[in-house]
Structure 1
Amino acid sequence: MPARFEELDWRETPIGVISLRRRLDPTLGVQVHEVKLDDEYLMSSLFTVAEIELARLGLAQVPDADLDVVVGGLGLGYTAQAVLAESRVRSLTVVEGLGEVIEWHRRGLLPLGEELTADPRNSFVHGDFFAMALGERGFDAEKPGRRVDAILVDIDHSPRHTLDSGHAEFYTPDGLRRLAAHLKPGGVFALWSDDPPDEEFKTALGEVFGDVRDHSVFFANPYGGPESANTIYTARLVA
């Protein structure tokens, strides 16, 4: 029988103590993987619907084949897995600011780690996604300035509730314009948010992108129940 609770790893990081826990939920009868930053829950394997929808909704806006995709934020890996499940994807670059999270996947401490690590289309990059997005060199150290078909982001809680105040610039029209410079014509930016649709942020997106949508994604919540919702924004550069 699996242990009721295990702390698989914890580390001191520049933004606080990050820990990976695995526990058996007695009510649901399933193993749950959770990541905490200090006392705040960052992610849980119980709530992955919106992470998967981030990939599905984002890539649905790109009609082409042989897609090159960037994911900002590795987390438990469900967005990356959903991207790689799309046969049109040629390459995936996952940018993660915490090297510990990449290590957890490579060590097989997370359920999707072996699958993601083994896929030859996928590469993990330890780095600051926001610095890359706002800079001119972009996300490929070997090919500075390389443009991609889609950039999917799940890092901050929302455009208004960031993990670091330095991220705020990214969500402005100027920041979004600099992000868009890393997309091919017709490319798509998609963003996960824990908040309801934000009209002010949609207006900022509309200054840069020609096709802006918000999608409310509902999922079962056994703790706060019966249902919770996240928002996925998709924004497409009009070619």
Structure 2
Amino acid sequence: MSRKRRSAADEPFIDLRSSMGDVGGGERIVDHRHDWHQLIAVSAGLMTVTTEVGAWTAPPHWAVWVPAQIRHSIRFIAPSRFTALYIRPESTPALPDRCTALAVSPLLAALIGRVAAIGMVDRRDATESALATLIATELRTLSVAPFTLPHPTSEAMRHAVELIADQDANRNGLASDLPSPNLATIARKVGLGLRTLERRFARETGLTIGQWRRHRLLLIGLETLAAGAPVKAAAAAAGYAGPSAFVAAFRQSFGITPGRYFGGE
């Protein structure tokens, strides 16, 4: 099916438009925003969308939803293929008002493919209007994937997560799985007591420091797999002494073993 030609006179009636891309690993789209909502669906590779309040990762058969006017950047961890849908906000009310990662159902994947094939959706066409209605219905009912890493909002807590990341990057070997960060040292460096640090971190992110760190490291492991590394290397990158503990933790957090994301099973 060829993409339909549209003129300037058609623009007020266009409710959805689409674009597709193949990008190399390591490529980035710098911070920007759109007047329309955006759904970025990944069919190959791995992508992370980042805003001021968090980061959302999408492996194959998953997507990231970005509401209109939200500033965001995109990083492609591995060579990736994606399709982006842009949805006119005023034409489709009651869609999610926050960024999220979503599982792409077979129905939504087919709908995305159809819109990509015709290029745009014109509400004057009954069939095309039905496509827009079905897509909106799917977006309101899809399950949210646990690929969100919330960012703290205050300067002190953002400094704390930088220090946690530095401790993880500089650890010398792994005597045991996920050795604990030195929270007393981190609290002192950000000018807070340990209990105050823990309370503020939980209030700003919705997670304890341990939960946040574990989730961050699991996502690093996912990125390592997307780059083509074996599970053993991904486990080490995620802070686990061996693959079995990493796979078990990954499955507990994400509901599936890590390798299945890239096998399309």
Q: TM-score range by the shorter chain?
A: under 0.3
Normalised by the length of structure 1, the TM-score is 0.28
Task: Write 1 or 2 for the structure with the bigger share of strand.
Answer: 1
Q: Name the structure, 1 or 2, with higher relative contact order (CA <8 Å, separation 6+).
A: 2
Normalised by the length of structure 2, the TM-score is 0.26
Task: Write 1 or 2 for the structure with the bigger share of helix.
Answer: 2
Greater Rg, structure 1 or structure 2? 2
